[in-house]
Structure 1
Amino acid sequence: MSKPRSRPRGRRLSLVARWSALAGTLLTAGIAIALTLDWYLPGQPLLVFGICLVAVVPMAIITIRAEIRPMLSLFRALEGTVASYRDGDFSFSLHWPQNDELADLIAAHNELGHVLRDQRLDLVQRELLLDTMVQNTPVAMLLVAGSASRNGLIVYANSAARQLLAKGRKLEGLQLDELLAQASTALRDAIARGGDGLFSVGDGEEENVYHLARSSFTLNGRKHELLLLRHLTSELRRQEVQTWKKVIRVISHELNNSLAPLASLAHSGAELVRRGQPERLPQILETIGERTRHLESFILGYARFAKLPSPQLEPCAWDAFVDRLASQVRFRLVGELPPEPAQIDAAQMEQALLNLLKNAHESGSRPEQVELHVRRVQDMVRIDVFDRGSGMNEAVLTNALVPFYSTKRSGTGLGLALAREIAEAHGGRILLANREGGGLAVSLILPGLPLPA
C-alpha cells in the first residue's frame, strides 16, 4: 500500500505572495516601458500608452497562463481522484511541487485517500472473515427479499443451506416457492405457519429435528426476512438421554426412600403377628398407607406432566376462576380483575396457579404476603404471583424451569416446569424475577381476547 506523499520542504511561498509578486513585476515592467517610450517620444502620451498595452498585455497573458496551467491540471486530477473515490478506488495520490496552500490541500487529499484505503482494506478483511464464518456455520441461512410466506426472492444462502435444500447447488436468484416445492412437507408447513418453532423430517430412526428461526428487517428500503435452520437431532438425543438418566435417578431415589421403609414395616408387622402382639399393627398399617399414598402422588405427578393434553381454550370469567383458587389456597388479591373474560383452559391454568401459589407458601413467606395480581397489558394478560420468601440465586433462577430440578429435599421439580408447559401451550410464557426487598415474582403472560371495538 502506498503512503501519501509528504509536503514539499523548503521555504513556504503562499499563493498571495506569488501572485502579488507577479502583478508587481508586470506593473514594474509596464511603468519602465512607459518611461522609456516617453523619453524617446515626448509629447505623445496616447502613442506611449498604446505601445505599452501592446507590449505588456501579451507578456501578462503568457505569464498568467504559465502560472494557471499547472493549477488547472491539478484541479482536473482532483476531479479524477474524487470520481475514483466515488467508485471505490482509493489507490491514487497527487503531487504538487510548490510549497503553498495548494500543497496543503493535496497533502490533506492524499491523507484522506490513505485513510480510506486502510478503512476499505479493514472492511474487506471483516467481510472475508464474516463470510468465512457464515459459510462454515452448521446453521443453514437463507436471506429472502420480501416475505418468506409470499414467495420472496432468495438473495443469499450459505453452504449449509445449499447442502440441506439443493444438494450444494446455487440458490441465489430462485423464488422461495420453487425451492420449497422440492423440500419436505414439514419444512413448507413450518415456513407457512410463521414464527419460530421445531419441526421433524422423516420417521422412526430416520427422523431429523430442525429448529426454524426467522427475523425481518429493512435493507436498502426493502423488507427482507432471514431464515435460520438448525439441525437439532443429535443435540436433542443427547439431552433426551440426560433427561431420562435424571428421571431414572429421581424415581429410583424416591422408590428406594419409600420401598425400604415399607419392607421394614412389613417385616416388623410379620414379627408382631408371629409373636402374638397385634396391638401395634394398626400403627404400622397406617404408616404403610401413608408412604403408599405419597408414592402414588409422586408417580401421578410425573404422569400428569408427561400426559398434559392440548389446552381446550374457552372464555372464562376471572372472578369465578379466582374464587375457585381461593377456596383451595390462601392468597391476597391485588388490584381489580380484568372485566374481559380469559381465553384459557380453566382446569390447566388452575393447576398451574395452584403450583405457583403453593410454591409461594413454601418459600418461607408469611401467608398474608402471598399475592395474586391479574391485569390486562395491551393485547396480553399478565398474572403475577408474589411472595416475600428467600427468593432465588442466579443458579436456581437459571434452572428453576427445567423439569426435575428442585432445591427442596422432597421436591419433584415439576411444579414450575408444569406451569411453564401450560403457559407455553396457551401461547404464552413464564418469567421469574427476584423482588426488591426480598421474595420472588412469578409471571404468566398469556394472549388475551381482543378488546371490544
Structure 2
Amino acid sequence: MAIELPIKLPFNLRLALRTKLILGTVIASVSGVLLSLLFLSEPVQEQGTQWGALALVLLATISLSWAMSYFVTRKLATSLMALEVGLLNFKDNDFSVSIPVSGDEQLSALATLFNESAASLRQERQYIYQRELLLDKVIQSSPNVMLLLDDDQRVIYANDAARHLFNQGVRIEGLNLTTLLESVSDELARALQNPKGGLFSLAGCDEGEDETWHLSRGQFLLNGQYHHLLLLKQMTHELNRQEVAVWKKVIRIISHELNNSVAPIASMVNSGRMITRELNDPKLKMIFDTIEDRTNHLSQFIFNYARFAKLPMPKKSVVDWHKLTEQLGQHYAFKLVGKLPESQGSLDLIQMEQVLLNLLKNAHESGSASEGITLSVEASTLVDGTSGISIEINDEGAGMSPDVLKQALLPFYSTKQSGTGLGLPLCREIIEAHDGRISLHNRDDVGLCVRVWLPQ
C-alpha cells in the first residue's frame, strides 16, 4: 500500500504567485532569445566579438520582460492580497470587510462574488443575532423555570424565573445544582434529585393552598458533551381551572335534570290545589304547602349553583372607587383605611360589587365586631412592573385553620351547616376573569386577611 507524504519546500523556495509569473516570463523570454540566436546565427564560439552584444541583448530582454511582467501583474497582486486579507477576516468571523472591484473581468467578478458573500454572511449573522435576542427575551420572560446543566451538574444557563426560585434573583450560572438545593425546600430538592419527571406539590406560603408543579427533563449532545435541561412549570392555576370547569359542567347537567323535574312538580301542586279546593281539608293543604315550600327551596338552590356555572364574562366599565365604597357601606359596616386611588378603575361593577359584598359578609360572619372590619383600596405595582389595584379586607374573627385555608377556594367546600360552598369560589372566578388573583391569610394577631389584586 503506497503512502503519499507531503513534500515541504524550504522557506526560501516558497515563492509568491506573482514572483513565479515574473520569473516564468523572464525565463521564457531569455530562452526565446537564446534559441533565436542558436538557430538564426552562427555558433557563438566562432563569434567571440559578439559576446558583449549578446550579453547586452540578454540583459535588455531580462529587464524588459521583468518590467512588463511586473506592470501587467500589479493588479493581480493587489487583488490576491485583498482577497487573502478578506478571507483571514472571514476566518476570524469578521464579515464587515469588502474588497475593491478592479482589474480585468475575472478579477472583478471574483471581487464582486467576495463582496456579495460578505454581505450575505453579515445579513445572516444579523438575522441569527436577532433571533437569539428574541429567543432569550422569550425564555427570560417565561414564568416556567428553565435550567441547563452539564454532566457535572453545573448550571450553564438559567432564566429569570430560575434565578428567583433558587437564589432570589441573583445569577446562578456556574454554580452546582447541589449547592442550589441547599437553600430550597425539601420537597423541591427531592423532586429535582429524582431522575424522573412528573408532578409534585410544594407547601403554599402563609398557610395558603399547596402548589402543584410539573418537572420535565431532557438531554441532548452539544459540542461533544451531554447537556441536561430541567423545566419546572407551576400547574396549580391550570389544574384549578380544569377542576372548576369540570364542576361547572356537572352543575349544568344536574341543574338541567332537576329543573325538568321541579317544574312539573310545581305545576301539579297548583293543579292539586285547584282540584281539592272545595274539600277544604287542613291536612291536604299542609301537604301542598310543604311540597310547594320545598320545591321553591330546591329551585333557589339550583339557581345559586347555576349562577356559578354560567358566570358571564365581565363587561368592564369605569368604576368610581368613592361611589363603590359608599354603596358597600350601605349593606355592611366597615372602616375605610387609607386613601382611595385617584384614578378610576375599569371593572365589571356588578360582579366586583358582588365579590366585595360576599367578602364583607364573610368578615361579619367570622365573629368579628363591626369596628374591627377594615377595607383598603390602593394602587399597587408588581415586581415585573405591572400596575394594578390592591384591595384588602381584614377582620378580627377566629381566622381559618390550615386545612380550611387550603380548601376555602374550592367549589362546594363550606364550614357552615347551611352553606353551599360557592361564595369564595364565585369570588375567585370573577377575580380571575378580570385577570386578577385572590389570597387568604391568617393575620399575625387575630382574624383573617383577604387580598385581591386587579390589573389596571
Q: TM-score range by the shorter chain?
A: 0.3 to 0.5
TM-score (norm. length: structure 2): 0.45
Q: TM-score with structure 1 length normalisation?
A: 0.46
